[in-house]
Structure 1
Amino acid sequence: MAGGDPILAVRDLRVRFRTLDGVVEAVKGVNLQVNAGETVAIVGESGSGKSQTMMAAMSLLASNGSATGAVDYRGRNLLELSKRELNRIRGSRISMIFQEPMTSLDPLYSIGSQLMEPIRRHRKLGAKEARAEAIRLLDLVRIPDPQRRFKSYPYELSGGQRQRVMIAMALANNPDILIADEPTTALDVTVQAQILTLLAELQQKLGMAIVFITHDLGIVRRFADRVYVMRAGEVMEEGETEQIFAEPRHSYTKMLLAAEPSGRKEPPPNGFPVILEGRNVEVTFSIGGGFLSGPPMILRAVDKVSLALRQQQTIGIVGESGSGKSTLGRALLRLLPSEGVVWLGVKDISKADREAMRPLRRQLQLVFQDPFGSLSPRMTVGQIVTEGLLVHEPALSRAERDRRAAEALQEVGLDPAMRNRYPHEFSGGQRQRIAIARAMILKPRVVVLDEPTSALDRSVQKQIVELLRNLQSAYELSYLFISHDLAVVRAMADYIIVMRQGRVVEQGLTDDIFDNPREEYTRTLMAAAVDAKRFRLGKLEPVEQRK
């Protein structure tokens, strides 16, 4: 741990949000400090106030939020600075990496133009120099072929590559402090390890301090010098990382260390009908190309994949970032062009156009990875949950829609009285429950769950898994469960498809895939998951100690 005087000191920080239901106190008198060159982790469940603590420090709270107390950066209280003074510090001396890079990067601008913006703003470089610096940064964070990727758009990059771009943007002006808010939760275990290694190397090279906000205690143990454990807006425990893991004092910390989705799902009886079937599904994308650059490169994102999903079955689709698992899910829902045949029950929907698919949409629902990005910030929760009813049951009265919204929220474990609030007033776990309620209110037959727990802490993951199981049993639902988190997949799925580079590597019953994987790639994934679990539970030494 680096010593010396703190470069960032938070004292008696309180964060409040004005809502229709009154004032909500999200952070309650937090004190913490960050010394030069060290890594401080802030951990806790969804809604514990860990992200809001740092959002307040950066004066990035939502418009209905306010902060009191002090956030001293090198002797200046950031809460008292004007917007102009703050802008000289934000993005320059203190930078932030946000949880979901796809919602942080502008889809309309190339990676290069977005990287050049903070460089030109803070360092006053010309276009040519800024371009050269942007390419250097892409190379620094190990983006392959940085000259070409400079011209790429966010959708052309994998999740891990987008996160590397966000790191490059945050490092553009050599900050003193890098705040990383859940920077690896949406990434598979192998890419997580790459990002953490990269951050550690960059920290050593640049001498910056890192504030690491996360719910993943395995990552904390690998990466942090000190830890603050938060719950309900307060710090429950703090200390050196090894001390927190070896001898946690607070019962809440002990609970976090022990939380893990558990149980097994039994497969449905053989006689249950197939609800959704894909045969030789293929999805290709054309990248680049033009008069001067030659023909475009064809990316085969999904390469002749077949599957059959039965009533009340859960098929888990696993694989690294960029393996094609999310693209396959969208192709089966007819949300993007594909080749091959897709059946919904006995109906061939392969060539169904938008108009023909519209009445079928209520049977095919999708829950996204990032609920904050998929929930409109301008709509109340009640309006979000009942949005589908306006399309599929337009004759319903406003009072009936409101009643159905209250029922749906209660069904997913939320207080119906919260339906007049807005998404930003909820924690990540609560927002995911809202997204599930929006899908379930239409009583679908098939739900595609695209990384629905990746942004959630282990204890909340466990709750969401139990919720999804209960809903599946109550309504005989069929799930396609897309995830890189193998612990959650094992608790949810009765059948698994392993994908790599658009192809199916291996498939079979869940226990067979986990206990007796046949392919080397599957064995590598399983070994990484076991390593991560053993490390989190303190049964495996840090990598650098094992060398």
Structure 2
Amino acid sequence: MEKMAETIFDIRGIRVTFDTPDGAVEAVRGVDMHVKAGETVAVVGESGSGKSQIMMAAMGLLASNGRAEGSVTYRGQELVGLPREKLNRIRGAKITMIFQEPMTSLDPLYTIERQISEPLRVHGGLSAAAARKRALELLKLVHIPDPERRLKSYPHELSGGQRQRVMIAMALANDPDLLIADEPTTALDVTIQAEILGLLAELQRKLGMAILFITHDLTIVEAFADRVYVMQHGKVVEEGATEQIFNRPAQDYTKMLLAAEPEGHKPPVPKSAPILLDAHKVSVTFSARGGLFSAGFALKAVQDVTLSLRAGQTVGIVGESGSGKSTLGRALLQLLPSEGRVVYQGVPIQGFSRAAMRPYRRNLQMVFQDPYGSLSPRMTVGEIITEGLLVHEPGLSAGQRVEQAMEALKEVGLDPAMRNRFPHEFSGGQRQRIAIARAVVLKPTVIVLDEPTSALDRSVQKQIITLLRRIQQSHNLSFIFISHDLAVVKALADYTIVMKSGQVVEEGLTDEVFERPRSDYTRDLMEAAFDLKSVLNRQAEARV
């Protein structure tokens, strides 16, 4: 018990400043926090609150224009200003870090074996054979299926959950004292998220390490953490035991975060509402030709899916990564070759060429998951929004296009004066609003929204949900809303389809699917999304 009370990681008065063309920006402003041996501490707050920059400063990983002041000690050893060679004896060995997006953290040119072996050889001094043996043990420890084969795999050959497990294996390679996990489950499905959290809890019990968990997902914090620090604008505004923070929050900001869960209810549209988009037995198959030493393969990503979308309706499509939901959305808009039948307002558009589809594109719009990737960095916001008008309304003058762009920006809650800025000058939530404005400016009848809120803070998600509801009501729009976030789907959709392995396993009115799920798969999804603590407790009992 005495060891559990020992503080191993102590942050005192830490400040992080970045030099920018517009002057110095203070991202972290005098923060104190600590972690004791064996405990789990969560640092929460919206994007831009400074929570990740504290850890980057502690690990000596700040960008070249950043500087840190204050004190960060690990078991009494000062880390701020420590020479790189001395810092390297601690980071990667005693303190390790898991980053938010494993695909950008793992080297695409190296095998999994090489990436796990490197810290073992650098910090542990192991031979190549010993490092390989240890790498195999670590893959087994994090429950990677077929670990011997996966050692030879490259990152792109693994699923998102498997890549995150590899990141955990790398972090655990040298039996760390403290694991810093920076948004390690944000982009994962709820069931995979539960598996990763259960795995971390299991490893924590086995290895006795402390965990510092950085996240904006309060559902995870409530189920997983012992203590919580709440950050806003670079400062800690509240701290305390998890139970206290969730049941008796003292600060208005904390109360706002806790109240930011998606809420509301969309009543079903009347059965007399006209059907705009009708799909029957849609299938999508991806195939690849074999090489000299490998056979070709065919993957049926979507199998015989039938759905109808009525005027003013929102159909939610949920399921884990790889379930085929995004592929289905693209097939419905004829962005992918598919089989089956797709009819838009009585016109069979299945198999239409690019030229034949052009007249229908303005009515069939799509908003993608990552607005930063789907918005051209070389175009201003005004140019991005008016690009579709150049194609679909060539008779408009430049002034008329600008006027419509300004109106679209107002509609999504952005200042029209921002139209001359570039995408990188906006936050994630603002960029998603711009992507929605680009779709809405064409006055479509159907919008497919592919994971439009998955990377956003809960408070920003709530704003986007409110925005989508308002736009839908104003224009009588029909949405196909694709997501693995069941809370968002519950708030937005009046009809829900559950997909697994390319097939529909359950569908019906949203209230019925969420309150009385019929399939075991749907029940597992619901429990992982709305009762994470029970799932983690059951996992722990099963392992014991």
Q: Which residue of structure 2 aligns with residue 3 of structure 1?
A: 5
Change (3 A) 1:179 1:385: farther
Spell out the pairing of 1:36-55 with structure 2 (5 A cutoff): 36-55=37-56
SS of structure 2 residue aligned to 1:299: strand
Does 1:543 find its partner at 2:537?
Answer: yes
Change (3 A) 1:54 1:291: same
Q: Supply the RMSD in Å over aligned alpha carbons.
A: 3.8
Residues 159 and 322 of structure 1 are in contact (CA less than 8 Å); yes or no, is this contact kept in structure 2? no
Amino acid at match of 1:308: S
Q: Which residue of structure 1 aligns with residue 470 of structure 2?
A: 470
How far, CA to CA, are the matches of 1:391 and 1:129 in structure 2?
61
How far, CA to CA, are the matches of 2:89 and 2:375 in structure 1?
32
Does 1:445 find its partner at 2:439?
Answer: no
Does 1:240 find its partner at 2:241?
Answer: yes
Q: Which residue of structure 2 aligns with residue 320 of structure 1?
A: 320
Spell out the pairing of 1:219-230 with structure 2 (5 A cutoff): 219-230=220-231
Change (3 A) 1:128 1:517: same
Residues 17 and 26 of structure 1 are in contact (CA less than 8 Å); yes or no, is this contact kept in structure 2? no
SS of structure 1 residue aligned to 2:100: coil
SS of structure 2 residue aligned to 1:277: strand
Residues 19 and 64 of structure 1 are in contact (CA less than 8 Å); yes or no, is this contact kept in structure 2? no
Spell out the pairing of 1:513-528 with structure 2 (5 A cutoff): 513-528=513-528
Residues 7 and 34 of structure 2 are in contact (CA less than 8 Å); yes or no, is this contact kept in structure 1? no
How far, CA to CA, are the matches of 1:480 and 1:502 in structure 2?
17
Q: Deviations over 1:477-497 (max 9, x none)?
A: 221111222222121001111
Q: Deviations over 1:375-424 (max 9, x none)?
A: 56676655655565676678888877666555444332234455566656
SS of structure 1 residue aligned to 2:366: strand
Q: State the 1:184 CA deviation.
A: 1.9
Residues 100 and 370 of structure 1 are in contact (CA less than 8 Å); yes or no, is this contact kept in structure 2? no
Residues 15 and 53 of structure 1 are in contact (CA less than 8 Å); yes or no, is this contact kept in structure 2? no
How far, CA to CA, are the matches of 2:451 and 2:510 in structure 1?
18
How far, CA to CA, are the matches of 1:36 and 1:233 in structure 2?
25
SS of structure 1 residue aligned to 2:531: helix
Does 1:12 find its partner at 2:14?
Answer: yes
How far, CA to CA, are the matches of 1:80 and 1:212 in structure 2?
24
Spell out the pairing of 1:90-105 with structure 2 (5 A cutoff): 91-105=92-106
Q: State the 1:194 CA deviation.
A: 1.0
Q: State the 1:314 CA deviation.
A: 0.7
Q: Please, what TM-score do these two structures have when normalized by structure 2?
A: 0.84
SS of structure 1 residue aligned to 2:352: coil
Once the two structures are overlaid, the 10-residue window that deviates more, 216-225 or 379-388, is: 379-388
Q: State the 1:527 CA deviation.
A: 4.1
Q: State the 1:166 CA deviation.
A: 2.8
Amino acid at match of 2:246: F
Q: Which residue of structure 1 aligns with residue 430 of structure 2?
A: 430
Residues 98 and 181 of structure 1 are in contact (CA less than 8 Å); yes or no, is this contact kept in structure 2? yes
Change (3 A) 1:6 1:422: farther
How far, CA to CA, are the matches of 2:498 and 2:129 in structure 1?
45
Q: Deviations over 1:486-543 (max 9, x none)?
A: 22212100111111222111211222222333334333433444424xx6xxxx8983
Q: State the 1:248 CA deviation.
A: 2.2
How far, CA to CA, are the matches of 2:531 and 2:436 in structure 1?
31
Count of aligned pairs between the two proteins: 539
Amino acid at match of 2:259: A
SS of structure 1 residue aligned to 2:323: coil
Q: Which residue of structure 2 aligns with residue 498 of structure 1?
A: 498
**Contiguous gaps of at least 5 residues in structure 1:** none
Change (3 A) 1:354 1:211: farther
Spell out the pairing of 1:209-220 with structure 2 (5 A cutoff): 209-220=210-221
Percent identity, aligned pairs only, is: 66
Spell out the pairing of 1:211-360 with structure 2 (5 A cutoff): 211-286=212-287, 290-292=291-293, 295-296=295-296, 298-354=298-354, 356-357=356-357, 360=360
Q: State the 1:467 CA deviation.
A: 0.7
Name the larger-Rg structure: 2
Q: Which residue of structure 1 aligns with residue 161 of structure 2?
A: 160
How far, CA to CA, are the matches of 1:399 and 1:122 in structure 2?
63
Change (3 A) 1:433 1:219: same
Q: Which residue of structure 2 aligns with residue 187 of structure 1?
A: 188
Q: Please, what TM-score do these two structures have when normalized by structure 1?
A: 0.83
Q: State the 1:229 CA deviation.
A: 0.7
How far, CA to CA, are the matches of 1:331 and 1:414 in structure 2?
31
Q: State the 1:127 CA deviation.
A: 6.0
How far, CA to CA, are the matches of 2:375 and 2:310 in structure 1?
29
Q: State the 1:36 CA deviation.
A: 3.6
How far, CA to CA, are the matches of 1:305 and 1:19 in structure 2?
52
Q: State the 1:108 CA deviation.
A: 6.4
How far, CA to CA, are the matches of 1:174 and 1:201 in structure 2?
14
Q: State the 1:315 CA deviation.
A: 0.3
Q: State the 1:182 CA deviation.
A: 1.9
Change (3 A) 1:408 1:168: farther
Change (3 A) 1:207 1:155: same
